[in-house]
Structure 1
Amino acid sequence: MRKSLLRMTLRQLQVFQAVCSSQSYSRAAEDMALTQPAVSQQIRQLEEQVGAPLFEYVGKKLYLTEAAVSLLAASEDIFNRLDSLDMQLSSLQGSLRGELRLAVVSSIQYLTPHLLAAFRQRYPEVVFRLEVTRRSQVIQRLQDNRDDVVLMALVPEDRALEFFPFLNNPIIAVAHPGHPLAGQAELALTALEQQVVLEREQGSGTRKAVDEFFQQKRVHLQQLMQMGSGESMVHGALAGLGVALVSEHAAAPYLRSGELVRLDFSELPLYRSWCAVHARGKRLSPVAEAFLAFLREERVQVRTLAERFVAG
């Protein structure tokens, strides 16, 4: 190893990461509560130790050099290992402390905070960083190793992933109380062929599950209206736009209030499972290990938490 690399400090790496994140020396200075000359000095020292320039300007925009990309990956690994060390030391002292980085698909965003609150009752010194996004972006985040754990349905089979199901995700049909199908009993799925059906965007786990289900049942929907999220589908049904096929957890508050009704299709709900997912071979932090153990071992508590999102 080059002796010059041993002279790098954690403070220098923090400043470097701030510049990479903001792509600006002045914004990095604000974020770090430093002066801009102090930031410039730290970066110059790092460049001397690395032996290569870290940033270059093209026009007025700051870009990372190849050396900076390599240094950024190494610095993230260093800080991740320090976070893990902090958690391990806390565990040895009889407590668990650290940050859980969690990404979830939008269909489970309503339940997730309640899961985290229950987990934090057991480990009060744990904090969370939660990202709610689409299935395609969650898959990309898994590939980029940006999170400790991901919660999603329909885990892709062509990726090197470890996962386990921890909760049923019932998909139901809902509509405005004034909808023509409201109040009818034991409806056949073919009744939807003459109705406007609200659907999720391509790449959504719910969309994939529903499309595969109707294909298996040989149901051909004629009037489709695409929505960008589960929440927009629920509100589309509230507005009377059509029938929405959504997670029961997302629609439950409106079903209880009577603003929506659950349509009585004999072949619904469509059951899928929410799964806890991480990259195969990933070095999990003690906090991530504890959270996965919570989901595995506390199934009764998890189901109880989920019941508040079921209309009954």
Structure 2
Amino acid sequence: MNYTLNQLQIFLKVAQSQSITKAAEELHLTQPAVSIQLKNFQSHFDIPLTEAIGRKIYITDFGKEIAEAAAAIIEQAYAINHKTAAFRGELTGKLKIAVVSTGKYVMPYFLADFLRQNPAVELVMDVTNKREVIRSLEANEVDFSLVSVLPPKLAIEKLDLLNNKLYLVGHTARQFHGQTPAAIFRELPLIFREAGSGTRQTMTEFLDRNEIPHIKKMELTSNEAVKQALIAEMGYSIMPLIGLKNELFNNDLQIIPVKGLPITTMWSLIWMKGKKHSPVAAAYLAHLEAKKDEIASDKFGWYDGY
């Protein structure tokens, strides 16, 4: 059989996500490229690996066994690479981080230099909602988590990276001058993130704390979805500034002045108190402690203008 390690990786990702679209997104490939490699991989076997019903793909029992074998082979391949790098005296191993969804606008900038300096380090980063981020931290599945709202009942240590500022945001078609928060929120349809989102929690606490009546228009499960809804003039939302750079610069969205905003929290890298870090995790933490202020100034200088 002449299948490649790349084909094994693609099939494993398809099996894990049960979606060619999601596999393509996670592998940073096009859907046609994933489909072609999946077809080429299937050509090595007489028994079907997948089954398509309607628009959904399912993994057959045989496919599940091949996926398990693929995972073991890929793990061994990584082990070989790690051993080779370690023999050369390079830092090697996995760095595992769970990031709340809006954190995808923050975390890459605090990772890039470290990964360039340590090419043998393998990054495993899960971008999900706050609830799942905290669960994976408690379960010791990750080295670190990036959050903007600290978990109140968890014994953690933290390293603060960057201020997180949340504003009321909407389309530029309408201008606002001098209205009170109560007046604005009474007439504006508000778009919320889903339950379990840190942004949702912060937004709801602000409304409740100020006893502001509001219209709940809809609930969406990602900041990207909220942004597109705002651009389409479907409503307004309280959103983190960090993900709005292009939309503000292009005049697609505006910040609506409201007393009591912005809400300011902190993007913090957190880990369980007393956790014994791996050499890779310890090296990364040392890198951040030395470079975080420089990274924040260099990559987020635009942030101070708001």
TM-score (norm 1): 0.68
1:193 to 167, 186, 199: 186
SS in 2 for 1:298: helix
What fraction of aligned residue pairs are identical, expressed as a percent? 25
Contact 1:142 1:278 in 2 (8 A): yes
The structure 2 residue matched to 1:32, chosen from 52, 58, 69, is 69
1:243 — aligned with what? 236
- Matched with 2:301 is 307
Q: Can you list the C-alpha shifts for 1:177-232, whole angstroms capped at 9, x where unaligned? A: 113xx3x3455322212210111111111111111122222212133421111111
Q: Structure 1 pair 219/30, CA: closer, same or farther in 2 (3 Å)?
A: closer
Note the C-alpha offset of 1:244: 1.6
* Other-structure match for 1:262: 255
User: Which of these two proteins has the greater Rg computed from alpha carbons?
Assistant: 1
- On the 8 A contact 1:115/1:305 being kept in 2, the answer is no
Give the conservation status (yes or no) of the 8 Å contact 1:101–1:149: yes
Q: Deviations over 1:257-302 (max 9, x none)?
A: 1111111223221101111111222221121122222333323223
Q: Report SS of the residue matched to 2:300.
A: helix
1:201-212 aligned at under 5 Å gives the runs 201-212=194-205
Does residue 175 (structure 1) correspond to residue 170 (structure 2)? The answer is: yes
Q: Call closer, same or farther: CA 1:188–1:33 in 2, change over 3 Å.
A: closer
Partner of 2:246: 253
Determine whether 1:118 maps to 2:155: no
Deviations 1:89-126 (A, max 9, x none): 94x97642222111100011122222211222333332
| Aligned partner of 1:108 among 75, 79, 103 | 103
Residues of 1 paired with 2:179 and 2:164: CA distance? 21
- Is 1:156 paired with 2:151? yes
Q: Specify the code of the residue in structure 2 equivalent to 1:165.
A: D
* 1:1-312 pair list within 5 angstroms: 27-29=64-66, 32=69, 90=86, 95-179=90-174, 182=175, 184-185=176-177, 187-190=179-182, 191-303=184-296, 304-307=298-301
Any idea what SS the aligned residue of 1:198 has?
Answer: strand
Can you give the 5+ residue segments of structure 2 that lack an aligned partner in the other structure? 1-11, 17-58
Does the aligned pair in 1 maintain the 2:169–2:237 contact within 8 Å? yes
Aligned length: 242
Shift in Å, 1:32? 3.5
CA offset digits 1:111-153 (Å, max 9, x no partner): 2222211222333332211110001111111122111111012
Q: Matched residue of 2:196: which SS? A: coil
Contact 2:161 2:293 in 1 (8 A): no
Structure 1: tracts of 5 or more residues without a match? 1-17, 40-78
Between the aligned partners of 2:159 and 2:170, the Cα distance in structure 1 is: 32
